[in-house]
Every structure is written in structure tokens, then in C-alpha cells.
Amino acid sequence: MFVVRKPFAFLLVAAATVLSAVGLVRVLADEYKSGIPWKEPKVIDPGPPGGVPSDAVVLFDGKTLDAWHGGDRWKIADGVATAAGGGITSKQSFGDVQFHVEWATPEKIEGSGQGRGNSGVYFMGAYEVQILDSYKNDTYFDGQAASIYKQHPPLVNVCRKPGEWQTYDIYFKAPKFDAEGKVVKPAYLTVVHNGFCVQNNFELSGATSWDMAPKYTAHADKLPISIQFHGNPVKFRNIWARDLTAEEPKK
């Protein structure tokens, strides 16, 4: 039987430690660094769960729709705005943006298909994420809740029952056009409905429309956001937006 004496065992441990240190130095020496002079990310307060982050533009706080053109037509009570009399359009313009909104379709079911709890969020007046009561409500799939209207159905239907509150967190990347009005970069939409990603960085083919195929028409880099009134008293609360414009590092 071979017995390792304590002094020899100590030498083995010491040698292994030295080799590990040498390996660590080699790893550190070979570490990849991009050399890009990134700007330190800004620190923001995320707020309490369900609250508003500190860098957000509050568009409806439960008290007033002064941030919207047409907001005077909607009814406000108990912290909730109910659609009536026409759509609303934000007074502020946005490009790349995170848009948060909570909504509820009427508890009393009236109508069917597209006539049931219909509304929508429009970016730049051209690109719609559908709002609809899609709980046990048959309609065309690219027109149900959380669809990119007439372009892409949601990956799954996570619509809650009529009258129950639902959330959208929508991440919109605006299209870019060259000096001649041609598309350089298309628009993209990611939609999180009730905590589930139902549109995953979907590339839009152009503006969404009920009666025309999608196509792009050149427009400004920043434009307002609109919420549609489609004749149904859909309720809204806790609306805010965050600028997602990325600042490229200086070369």
C-alpha cells in the first residue's frame, strides 16, 4: 500500500494552488474587452409593484386626461377613464417607446366578434395593437386581443373575462426612412399581455389597416400615441410611457 506522507501531501496541495493561480492569471490576461466606451446606465426607481417607474411620462394618473387631445370627451371616475365620444391622442410624441396601459372590456357582454369590447393602441397613428374582449369570443385571429392588427395573431390568447383588468406592456421600435422616404429599418413590436409575451419582436410590413394591405409611408421619427374609441365603453387606468431611444457610444 502506498501511503502519502503529510509533507508530500502538503506539497501536492501547494502545487495545485500555484497551478490554479497561474491558470487564473492566464484567464484574466485573455479576457475579452470590446473597447466600446459605454455610457453608464442611468439609475431609475422602478417604483412599487404595479407602480410607475421614475423615468416614465405619466399619461393618465387616474385624475385627468390633460395629456391627451380629446381627453375631455372621456368619462373619469374612481381613477378610471372610460372611452366615449371619440379616440384620444397624446400631446407628446414618441419614437422607440415602452407603453404601459391597463384596460377592461365591459362586464356586460353585448355584441360579438369585433363588436365586443373593441379598442386599440396606435403608435404613430399607423401601427395598431388590438384591444378586444377575446374571452370565448370568435373572430379572425389577426384581429383578436394583442394582435398586430391584420398582420399577426398573438402567440397565445391570455385574455381575462369581461370586466376584469388586463395589462399591456408594449415595446415599439419605430421605423426609419431615408431622405427619399424608403424604409431603412422596419418597425418592430413586442407585446406582453397579462405578463405573457404574445408578440416577440414582430417585424411589421407597414401600417395596419382594415381595408388595405400593409405598406409604409414615410413619417417623422417621433409621433403621438392614440387610443381608439370603437363604440364600446372600454375602461383604462395607469397609462405611462418610457423613451427607449438608445444612445450610441461615441467612436
Apex CA 136: angle with CA 133 and CA 139, to 5°? 70
Element (H, E) at 242: strand 235-243
pTM: 0.86
Tell me which DSSP letter residue 40 carries. P
Q: Give the tens place of pLDDT for each residue, 101-141.
A: 999 999 988 888 998 989 999 999 999 999 999 999 999 99
Structure confidence at residue 110 (pLDDT): 87
Q: Positive or negative, the Cα torsion across 217, 218, 219, 225?
A: positive
